[in-house]
Structure 1
């Protein structure tokens, strides 16, 4: 069992998180996809969150992350979606108007990585990414 540790705690808390773009718009192609990927990596690094596996698809994001037990999953997802939206709008102002600055939809999906193996989740995320590439406009 690969586990991490805090000063008095051994832990392995992994979560599969999925969130979608507002109105499920298929906007994450090309440079936008690369920028979203880099922004999410940077924000996770700021919070010392390990990305086990991840995929940025045309209209949603899959992340398998390892979050310390002292941090709430909902706080982390709120931070990630909120800060990333602001950073995306800075790089790509065409996605937000003065009145509407929502890039992500309100909700998200989360499950713990317990009953299935980490490899199965990695495989699923990679399959999702391959399926998305098939539908990407050329």
Structure 2
């Protein structure tokens, strides 16, 4: 992967986030039409914000995303933009998603998420951007792990 340095007033940067989030109670509700629509919504939000999606994987019980946002966008902001936008639209379009989550909790997603900052060239810690991209893209080729971990 070649370095794609972006610039803004006063900065040059090359930032990527590996973001993982799950539906409330890790229910496997992200299949079929919901999966297709979720992928469309994630791409639409990224386009709206001017963020680049490097890799995206929607599994029945979690989402994995490698995204390159603007330097001014914190990891929590990026994750919350995707989660809030997609929850609102998916729950409006798919009634079964509203009925599977208690009405006192008006969201599709768990409050928590995992976000790791990844350099798009080189490494951060022991994980390179290429490793994250390859992991997400080849998930279906690997055998599922015992315990169904993310």
Tell me, in whole angstroms, the C-alpha distance in 2 between the residues paired with 1:132 and 1:6: 42
Higher helix proportion (structure 1 or 2): 1
TM-score (norm 2): 0.80
C-alpha displacement of 1:69: 1.2
Q: For the Cα contact (< 8 Å) 1:55–1:129, is it kept in 2? A: no
TM-score (norm 1): 0.87
Structure 1 segments of 4 or more deviating over 3 A?
Answer: 129-133
Tell me, in whole angstroms, the C-alpha distance in 1 between the residues paired with 2:10 and 2:20: 31
Alignment of 1:98-137 (within 5 A): 99=103, 100-114=105-119, 115=123, 116-130=127-141
C-alpha displacement of 1:129: 4.0
C-alpha displacement of 1:132: 8.6
Tell me, in whole angstroms, the C-alpha distance in 1 between the residues paired with 2:90 and 2:140: 21
Match of 1:18 in 2: 20
Tell me, in whole angstroms, the C-alpha distance in 2 between the residues paired with 1:75 and 1:132: 33
Equivalences, count: 133
3-state secondary structure, aligned to 2:88: helix
Query: Is the alpha carbon distance of 1:10 and 1:110 closer, same or farther for their aligned partners in structure 2, counting shifts above 3 Å?
Result: same
5+ residue gaps in structure 2?
Answer: 145-150
Alignment of 1:3-82 (within 5 A): 3-82=5-84
Tell me, in whole angstroms, the C-alpha distance in 2 between the residues paired with 1:23 and 1:131: 25
